[in-house]
Amino acid sequence: MSSSSEFLWYIPNDVKPGHRGDIAVEDHNSLETLTSHARALEAHGWKGALIGTGWGRPDTFTVAATLAARTTTFEPLIAIRPGYWQPAQFASAAATLDELSGGRVRINIVSGKDNLAAYGDSEGEPAHRYGRTREFIRLVRRLWIEEDVTYDGEHFRVTASTTAPRINPRGERRHPKLYFGGASEAAERVSATEADVQLFWGEPLDGIQERIERLKSLSKSLGRDLAPLEFGLRITTLVRDTSEQAWADAEAKVAEMAKTGGARWHDHRQSIAEGQKRLFDLAARGDVLDDNLYTAPGRVGGGGAGTTWLVGSASEVARSLMKYRDIGITHFILSDTPYLAEIERQGHQLLPLLRDRSL
């Protein structure tokens, strides 16, 4: 793959054990367990990991800061919601962690609905949520790269604001990358003008290629004034020694999910966003799309990155990921359960193939 391709994993910060088929142990969310995941990622060649967000989960920023303090190269991709933060407060917190960690912070902005009333938010309508997100991203970036910022928007206002510490430029990196997802028209307009990286869930190649072309066109028509938008894929990768074993294990997992109604798999089923709907609709096209994109999990309770899986031997999954690379994906966020064991397996079997193919 391209030398600019980056490979991250996923660390589940969830109150209940057994997330998406993970091993259910009482200390699944302890400092020791989460630290073991982050250190394993360092040891097995991963750049870092996405840490999810949602009301009723351990606070993502706190978890990320703790793991950054206990590692040396691990880069947390910290999912946050504009409804939890004011832009200046967040810009300062992220700049502080970035400075303390030596420039290891990445941010994933999430606009999808959550339990708004529980944390005192009221921006429930899509037009308001995405309008607020657009302002949030733009203002946070300005606070990172400018001083004495004054802004008077519909949702946020600051006067003569300068965050401290300042973000320390590191080569071409002026500030932490800002990731964003979403498949609705409103979401894509935010990505086209404000995000550094647009994240996709595991759609087939044709669907993602169509969206990449649309986002590039939107970026041009909306007058994007940033570096070109980059693209990322968040997907489950089920890798085994042989194709036969991979498919046997995938089918066994789906059968078990069917027995439980997908319990502990469907983070995204309370409110079905456009991107999630696109994934659910794939099952009507068949259980297997492209070479090895398995859609059956979505029929039995899988949600989000657990809705579709790339299944196969390491070489087969690497070949499929290369095809996504060929249409413009450079950021890959992978995972499978049990999370800790798969960090090692895929770090040993999959990552070397992906890196070898960049030569």
Model confidence at 11: pLDDT above 60: yes
DSSP 130-184: HHHHHHHHHHHHHHHH-SSEEEE-SS-EEEEE--SSPP--BTTB-S--EEEE--S
Q: Given this model, what pLDDT does residue 259 score?
A: 84
Q: Which residue has the higher pLDDT, 18 or 122?
A: 122
Q: Given this model, what pLDDT does residue 269 score?
A: 46
Q: What's the rounded Cα separation, in Å, for the pair 30 and 243?
A: 35
Q: Are 72 and 105 in contact (CB under 8 A)?
A: no
Q: Which residue has the higher pLDDT, 277 or 313?
A: 313
- Does an H or E element contain 240, and which? strand 230-240
Q: What Rg do the C-alpha atoms of the chain give, in angstroms?
A: 20
Confidence at 50, pLDDT banded by 50, 70, 90 = very high
149-188: per-residue pLDDT in tens? Answer: 999 999 999 999 999 999 999 999 999 999 999 999 999 9
- The closest of 284, 281, 344, 339 to 314, measured between CA atoms, is 344
Dihedral, 111, 114, 118, 122 alpha carbons, nearest 10: 50
279-329: per-residue pLDDT in tens? Answer: 888 888 889 999 999 999 998 878 888 899 999 999 999 999 999 999 999
CA distances to 81, 180, 189, 231, 261 from 154, rounded to whole Å, are 18, 21, 17, 29, 42
Model confidence at 1: pLDDT above 70: no
Model confidence at 359: pLDDT above 50: no
CA distances to 54, 61, 116, 117, 156 from 83, rounded to whole Å, are 11, 14, 8, 11, 11
Q: What's the rounded Cα separation, in Å, for the pair 248 and 246?
A: 5
| pTM (two decimals) | 0.93
Q: Given this model, what pLDDT does residue 159 score?
A: 98
70-90: per-residue pLDDT in tens? Answer: 999 999 999 999 988 999 999
195-241: per-residue pLDDT in tens? Answer: 999 999 999 999 999 999 999 999 999 999 999 999 999 999 999 99
Confidence at 112, pLDDT banded by 50, 70, 90 = confident
Q: What CATH superfamily classification does 6-234+329-356 receive?
A: Luciferase-like domain (3.20.20.30)
Domain residue ranges of the chain, discontinuous segments joined by +: 6-234+329-356
